[in-house]
Structure 1
């Protein structure tokens, strides 16, 4: 029986991140990163299990070549840090989870051996001594949280020298004791600056030459951060917006610049994209572009969340629209602004009632 590859990408800093940040957003961030790692699988590795902050892959009776294995490792590190870079650039949420996500790091453990299997409720999973040893290697004496560790047995299988060096890798030798058994390995600290990360331009801020033709303000008995969460968490939108049949959005994503959602009202689909512009001093800003609005060509609404105290805030909504057709301009002048005003007033009233109900529970 041929040897198999055991491959474990593990997010460093996970425990502290989960324990010291907002639960829902931290869960979304970790979920996104794990999905990014799964999508970076270039060697047809089989996912045995998701282990909280780690993924346990294996390739049965097959070990990739040295070149392919190192390329697989580089692919996962590149995807991981590219995503963190994107989260940082497109962030709108000021919460601790979103702010500290770029501090997360990645380690990858790679091992080889003969696998056994166990079947649980019809699912066949790797089992046995080599699986245990691969997981034990996660607890090592490498003085970094951002590295790849390759067991000596795997290094010999792929003929990888303990002195191998390249732009990405600079391997060193290491040894740790597990249950009185000495296990040798080689490891390389990975410098994200040496990776060819996906290029992300800074989010484009929308600019307007004139003040918003419609501005509405409302006081709320809740913190600015909590109010921002109520508005940007699309799963809550139907609870304070009248007439919403459903909202289609990525439930596993933290809302950021570029996020999209579709609001279905009375059977009609309205498509929104998250945008941003310069915030008012002391405020947090969130903006939406309605790409298929009635009456106008483009409709922008910007929410400015301004803290008054720890438990009070003011929300100011600015509505901008763009119209090219002279006929549409006339219609907007006659009835459009009144319709927009009525819609915003109703939404703010619903949001106020929602926040009051939340504070009472």
Structure 2
């Protein structure tokens, strides 16, 4: 048994409507549906956090990975889990014509996710390792709340104030999605609510911008293998403090549409001396890829995709650029000149980026194996 006190994120994904669904539907079909829904979420958990235990209608996990701090990683992780859950419900619904109660009432099942940050330790109970501590108790106590009554949101992400601070995300007590719960022996726990169902709907409606290897490319695909996971490599490029280091920027201004969270529509101004490179996030898929739209001279634009693929001992980062685009006569006339210039400049520039990120990956992995 380890008595070491650890600090990190705690998270619970709780299926709402679970008890009623089992009680009022055919057990065989109900179990099959629930198994499919859990199976849709488990890969996301195993990829990014450590599962502590399964609790019938919920998954409890933790992550003491310090790379996740000072970033929105746990918010993006929660959205990925919910999207996988809801996508699976859609697939089951489309692929069945069964009229049993379980299949008819499947839509009554939904998901709530809770994220907290604090201390915990491993405790051996009858030969089973479980997490223990006041913060563990806190996250479970938060599962009973008035969020649905107060907001009308059935599928939500509840992020506690300690977790928001650990992520370095802006929040305000005046926000209509800001709430609190008084917990005996703990006190007042503040939290912020995020509508997961709305986010899932928005993600389905968003236009996908993904430059594939078979698309017309500006230059050949560039790639490099790193000694860290795709999750960490994605953070190496997107986490503000790490992005600045890897891009060798004097500073990077970030203009977000959604509070302090980066995502589709976020604009980035990267300063190198007197030069400012302007880009906009056009697609955001944490741990898998990010697509950017670059502003070029003469009103030209260029789209690029940075993809992260897990492999046995880390991941491979792949960079692909589409062709230079213009939307007026002047820009189209200048497109050939700019294309020729970029074809010459980009290969060494972005090979340099990849090599620098490779060394950065080694540095952070040496600081602690938990980062990889």
Question: Taking structure 1 as the reference length, what is the TM-score of the superposition?
Answer: 0.50
Q: Which has the higher helix share?
A: 2
